[in-house]
Amino acid sequence: MIRITDIKLGLDDTESDLRKKVIKNLGAKNIKSFAISKKSVDARHKPNIYYVCSVDVEADNEKELVKKYKNARVIEKKPYKFPKRGATDKKIVIAGTGPAGLMCGLVLAQNGYGVILLERGKCAEERKRDVERFMESGVLDTESNVQFGEGGAGTFSDGKLTTGINDFRINKVLEEFHAHGAPKEILYSAKPHIGTDNLYNMVISIREEIIRLGGEVRFGSKLTGIKTNNGRVRAVSVTSRDGEYEIETDNVVLAIGHSARDTFEMLYDMNIAMEPKSFSVGVRIEHKRETIDKSQYGKAHKRLGAADYKMSEHLENGRGAYTFCMCPGGCVIASASEEGGIVTNGMSRYARDGENSNSALLVGVTPKDFKTSHPLAGMYFQREIEKRAFEKSGETYNAPCQRVGDFLDADGEGENVEPTYRPGVVWTDISDIFPDYVTESLRDAILLMDKKLKGFADAGAILTAPETRSSSPVRLLRDKKTMQSNIKGLYPCGEGAGYAGGIMSAAVDGVKAAEMIAENN
């Protein structure tokens, strides 16, 4: 197979036009197969914007063709291969049905293992109703919300699949996501996203496939204990809607997500090895989508859709600030999972056609910023910020909100951005929700980022607070070779365990855990 790179394509050109370009450049009439392998936007010289594509082609005389075309090379595509299956008589228990848990369960089930997935929240169908009720009325279900339930926190997001990792398992994850309903574009887009509307159906499809392969998925079932003998897992305790029970097992995957605070406390009481880790806190910054589109593309482009951005700054105070989980044409959503605390996040549908665009604007914090050296100190640090926001809102789930101009004490009206956060906002000074060093870092970052993205510091843009669940505040330690914790048969996995930073890296870590179970048994 030949991979041809750096093919320019106009914004109005189609896949058929791309194929014609390839045939013209190669001079190959007998192309056996043709597939786009990557497609990105080059907007560096706006308004001259175009796509840059790579394609994979099977053709006659491939070696000769490569000699003629400088941007072509021979490649070999290898399908994903699961390691030799080990033997285990008892079913494997997976706690959590986020990207890590679902992919771990799916891969194990595909290779003949018996799996039981435990999910403390509800199935996607019921969870969707609970989330919508919270956004409409402020009535929070602490076991069924944006953080807990089938699909994990990623289900209510933009469904971004960009990642900084380079792992051969990424293709396996993309292929499975596409097979279960994600758009075809995720297979080749340089910045793939699924959209919350597609994520909802995708996680249901994966669950149904796991069940078809003989696995079980139990909702409303929370992992509340792990029984051990001679340093090995022997059983788990589960609290469900029907009462408490045990499951005998030799292998448990902890894919619990970054917000399962009671589970972290249970694991700490069990002396599971863990340590505090760095993470980030901040706000959601929201602009008119048109403002971001014009800044990035020069003007709005219907074919390109809503523009995105990604920025980072190293501040004079030594801290890092960056944008995260940018949601073009999306909304800011209520993401609390505990009573008495406010949490924000971002969400987009696949079309990204909302009036506003938003992103997390975050400042890094480290264990040195926490009040104690306790392994869960970062978790308690998060909770304090969320509680202060709740108090600031008058003890409601209406989030504290402030215009960027007021936050910066700057003149000017700016654009008229209406908050998308539901159930509502409280207009107030957000500065005292955070430690002073976070507030000052946010102010500095906004001004610096405005130099890169015109309009970022627009006085009329708005800040909704707080965003505290950017990543896990704790790392569950595991052996580098076997992925097991200090308890044999216990596999900390994914974002909650501190080994991932988004949907893709969490899903890949879930696949790794499945492989390790096969190799270690």
CATH at residue 60: 3.30.70.2700
**Do 304 and 168 have their domain in common?**
no
DSSP letters for 185-208: GGGTBSS-B--HHHHHHHHHHHHH
94, 492 contact by CB (below 8 A): no
Q: How confident is the model at residue 461 (pLDDT cuts 50, 70, 90)?
A: very high
In a domain, 33, yes or no: yes
Host domain of residue 418: 278-467
CA distances from 137 to 338, 339, 383 (A): 16, 14, 23
118, 95 contact by CB (below 8 A): yes
Give pLDDT tens digits for 94-113: 999 999 999 999 999 999 99
- Containing H/E element for 371? none
**Do 37 and 165 have their domain in common?**
no
Q: For residue 466, is the peptide bond before it cis, meaning its omega torsion is within 30 degrees of 0?
A: yes
Q: Which two tokens stand for residue 511?
A: 């696949």
**Do 408 and 440 have their domain in common?**
yes
Over residues 245-269, mean pLDDT: 98
pLDDT of residue 122: 97
What percent of the chain has a predicted confidence (pLDDT) above 70? 100
Question: Is residue 65 predicted with pLDDT exceeding 90?
Answer: no
End residue of a domain, out of 43, 74, 105: 74
In a domain, 87, yes or no: no
Answer left, alpha or beta for residue 163, where phi above 0 means left and psi between -120 and 50 means alpha.
beta
pLDDT of residue 169: 97
**Do 387 and 259 have their domain in common?**
no
pLDDT of residue 66: 86
In a domain, 289, yes or no: yes
Cα distance between residue 77 and residue 63, in whole Å = 16
**Do 123 and 234 have their domain in common?**
yes
4, 50 contact by CB (below 8 A): no
In a domain, 26, yes or no: yes
**Do 512 and 407 have their domain in common?**
no
In a domain, 101, yes or no: yes
**Do 145 and 111 have their domain in common?**
yes
| Range scoring the smallest mean pLDDT among 78-87, 183-192, 283-292, 422-431 | 78-87
Give pLDDT tens digits for 347-395: 999 999 999 999 999 999 999 999 899 999 999 999 999 999 999 999 9
Nearest to 408 by CA among 365, 452, 439, 449: 439
Three-state SS sequence of 136-172: HHCCCCCCCCCCCCCCCHHHCCCCECCCCCCCCHHHH
The CATH number of the domain holding residue 505 is 3.50.50.60
End residue of a domain, out of 16, 40, 74: 74
**Do 60 and 96 have their domain in common?**
no
CB count within 10 Å of CB 173 equals 26
pLDDT of residue 468: 98
pLDDT of residue 13: 92
Question: Is residue 62 predicted with pLDDT exceeding 90?
Answer: no
> What mean pLDDT value characterizes the chain?
95
Over residues 272-279, mean pLDDT: 98
**Do 461 and 478 have their domain in common?**
no
Question: For residue 27, which amino acid is it?
Answer: G
Question: Is residue 301 predicted with pLDDT exceeding 90?
Answer: no
pLDDT of residue 86: 73
Cα distance between residue 272 and residue 310, in whole Å = 36
What domain count does the chain have? 3
pLDDT of residue 310: 97
In a domain, 11, yes or no: yes
Give pLDDT tens digits for 5-51: 999 999 999 999 998 888 887 776 678 889 999 999 999 988 899 99
Whole-structure pTM value: 0.95
End residue of a domain, out of 467, 484, 504: 467
